[in-house]
Amino acid sequence: MLHNMQFLVSLKNNSIGINLDKLSKKEAFHIVSSVPPLQDFKITKNLGHGAFGTTYLLENGHALKLFHGGYDDYKRYKIYIERTFSGEGSQEDFAIFDKGEFEMKFQVMNYKGEMVNQLSDIYWVEMPEIIPLESWLKRTGRPADKIAKDGMPRFYQIYGNIYLSYKYGDEIKEGDIEPLTMEEAEGIKKAMKHYEEVIAPLDDAHAGNIGVYPHNPSIWAIFDN
């Protein structure tokens, strides 16, 4: 627990969806004591943060996401858990190992500029590490983020072309998805179809929230849509 507390306190941006620059020791202790995976496994890396939370890599190879204000995401994760344990799951399902929630007090500034306590619900999900599309391209020596056309990063063009093929049946040509392979494009299309059939419409899917499993690059998943 001490290692994880120190890790959380040391991060400059650890917002978990609340507007905080850093966590206090008291806040870090509360998080670690409220999330069982943080009591069992050390954090080895900060995988990144966004508007609603932060994701860490644990020593067991799983990713742990802490987030606030994203209850819809929490409900989607719950669907995957129910499918897994009911026997309805498939390899295209986004695997969820565990989940939970807890309440936490934060010091925030009100409209008068005064610091006050705010009680908020914090959610956590233990899941596989997913390599986002942009990172996957970089990792495999294909820096598509540096190839832009009309000011749009190449990986967004790639994603858009694959989505149009999935949604409207547009033919995909190798030039439309370069430097992805046709096999990778088909894997992403399969993930899109599975997500809409099982979870919800792809209302906020983009190149930053679709990725590949590092242990099996043939399977793609959509997350945080």
Same domain for 24 and 74, yes or no, is yes
Q: Which of 88, 108, 128 is the last residue of a domain?
A: 128
58-117 pLDDT per residue, tens:
999 999 988 876 656 777 778 888 887 787 877 778 778 888 989 887 766 777 888 787
Same domain for 51 and 115, yes or no, is yes
- Determine the pLDDT at residue 64: 93
The answer to whether residues 195 and 115 touch, using CB atoms and an 8 Å cutoff, is no
β-bridge partners, 152: 149
Question: Token pair of 111, please?
Answer: 């409209």
Q: Which of 99, 128, 157 is the last residue of a domain?
A: 128
Same domain for 200 and 106, yes or no, is no
Q: What is the residue range of 80's domain? A: 2-128
- Determine the pLDDT at residue 19: 47
Q: Which of 128, 160, 181 is the last residue of a domain?
A: 128
Same domain for 89 and 160, yes or no, is no
Q: State the residue for tokens 């992805």.
A: 180
Determine how many CB atoms are found less than 10 A away from the CB of residue 204: 11
Which ranges of the chain have pLDDT less than 70? Answer: 12-21, 50-52, 69-72, 107-108, 144-152, 204-208, 224-225
Domain count, the chain: 2
- Determine the pLDDT at residue 129: 86
- Determine the pLDDT at residue 126: 92
Same domain for 145 and 114, yes or no, is no
Q: Is the dihedral of CA 164, 170, 172, 176 positive or negative?
A: negative
Using CA atoms, how far residue 212 sits from 4, 56, 115, 224, in Å, is: 27, 17, 42, 14
SS3 letters across the chain: CHHHHHHHHHCCCCCCCCCCCCCCHHHHHHHHHHCHHHHHCCEEEEEEECCCEEEEEECCCEEEEEECCCHHHHHHHHHHHHHHHHCCCCCCCCCCCEEEEEEEEEEEECCCCCEEEEEEEEEEEEEECCEEHHHHHHHCCCCHHHCEECCEEHHHHHHHHHHHHHHHCCCCCHHHHCCCCHHHHHHHHHHHHHHHHHCCCCCCCCCCCEEEECCEEEEEEECCC
- Distance CA(215)–CA(225), nearest Å, equals 22
- Distance CA(64)–CA(61), nearest Å, equals 10
Residues shown for the chain: 225
